[in-house]
Amino acid sequence: MTIAITGATGHLGRLVVDSLLARGADAGDLVAVVRDPAKAADLAAKGVQVRAADYTDRAALESALAGVDKLLLISSSEVGQRLPQHTNVIEAAKTAGVAFIAYTSVLDAADSALTLAQEHKATEEVLAASGIEHALLRNGWYWENYTTDLAGTIERGVLAGAAGDGRVAAAARADYAEAAAVVLLADGQAGKVYELGGDQRLTYSELAQQISEVVGAKVEYQDLTQEQYQSVLEGAGLPAPVAAMLADSDTGVKTGALETTSGDLQALIGRSSTPVAEVLRRSAPVRG
């Protein structure tokens, strides 16, 4: 059985490949679909097949997916371009004869009010119309979303956001990768919808306390309006559409849009999700 992973040189994609190998998949049966094969030299060295294709290049995608039985479609990072890009992959997969697709969506995509969910919902609809058997991996937030600027957060002593007292059931990126690997290797996954989130359901104030305890420095949560938080993100260099999407998602935390108690993640990986403190420790700057 041949399994392909799109975006295989990305943070999540690499972890999925690692999880598949750890669970006994043969490297020669894995296909890493990447934009730049040079960035996948380490995967090739492990025996993984590396094939070049961009989400926008239908012909290259068809070639890359030739002979593939199962596909993990990792959602594009290009906000506003995801639907046409995902549609390209799905149509190419159908032409290539791919029998099964697992897609990394977002929590409660079909009913979520998050701006982020719109392209995911539309992609799920394209998948349903394609006739290809598929499963939906509706991933919650990654704890790593809060470690990108962890050094800055510690230096300022402030975790800024617009989440109020809402809770986020995040998990480590590796947890979601392992769940994806389990689904790809299992039989009988067609039609499954997994709402994936971690065991810890933290408010941002509680997250700030976790950061404080891990780094040994006081960090407090500063609650902003959605507009104020978007301005902060743009000031940090994020493009306006991305900043707007993230600020909207933060506001969605208030209404439970990134919280779940489904237990689907834990059932798939056979354990509790990685504690946030462990993720923070891996990312915390060394204190001199």
- Domains of the chain, first to last: 3-140+171-196 (3.40.50.720)
Q: What is the pLDDT of residues 60-118, one digit of tens each?
A: 999 999 999 999 999 998 888 999 999 999 999 999 999 999 999 999 999 999 999 99
The average confidence (pLDDT) of the chain is 96
Q: Indicate the burial class of 59 (C-beta count within 10 angstroms; 0-12, 13-18, 19 or more).
A: exposed
Q: What is the pTM of this model?
A: 0.96
Examine the pLDDT at 287 and tell me if it is beyond 80.
Answer: no
Distance CA 173, CA 143 (A): 7
The whole-number pLDDT of residue 271 equals 98
Determine the average pLDDT of the residues in 220-230: 97
The whole-number pLDDT of residue 73 equals 98
Q: Indicate the burial class of 172 (C-beta count within 10 angstroms; 0-12, 13-18, 19 or more).
A: buried
Examine the pLDDT at 288 and tell me if it is beyond 50.
Answer: no
The whole-number pLDDT of residue 286 equals 61
Examine the pLDDT at 3 and tell me if it is beyond 90.
Answer: yes
Determine the average pLDDT of the residues in 176-181: 98
Q: Is the Cα dihedral 208, 209, 212, 218 positive or negative? A: positive
Q: What is the pLDDT of residues 108-159, one digit of tens each?
A: 999 999 999 999 999 999 999 999 999 999 999 999 999 988 999 999 999 9
